[in-house]
Amino acid sequence: MYVCICQSVTERQVREAARQGLRTVKALKERLGVASECARCARCAHEILRECHGCTEAVQSTAECVN
């Protein structure tokens, strides 16, 4: 699923970035471009980061994101 349509960033990419230690949407923006245009993805990206905070493996998605 795409989290950020403007930059073609997928949920998997966001989860991988979280796994690598990214904790904020700002950090995602710098790494992947998330929320760098319309920013409608910021809330969804934030929810995924929160869900993954501290995780070491991919977690089944529970975030509901509407883009």
Q: Could you list the residues that contact ligand FES (CB under 6 A)?
A: 4-7, 34-41, 67
Q: Is 3 left (phi over 0), alpha (psi -120 to 50) or beta?
A: alpha
Q: CB 19 → ligand FES: shortest distance, Å?
A: 20
Find all residues with CB under 8 Å of 39, minimum gap 6, and list them.
Answer: none
Q: Which is nearer to ligand FES, 25 or 52 (CB)?
A: 25
Q: CB 43 → ligand FES: shortest distance, Å?
A: 10
Helices 11-19 & 42-52, crossing angle to 10 degrees? Answer: 40
Q: CB 31 → ligand FES: shortest distance, Å?
A: 13
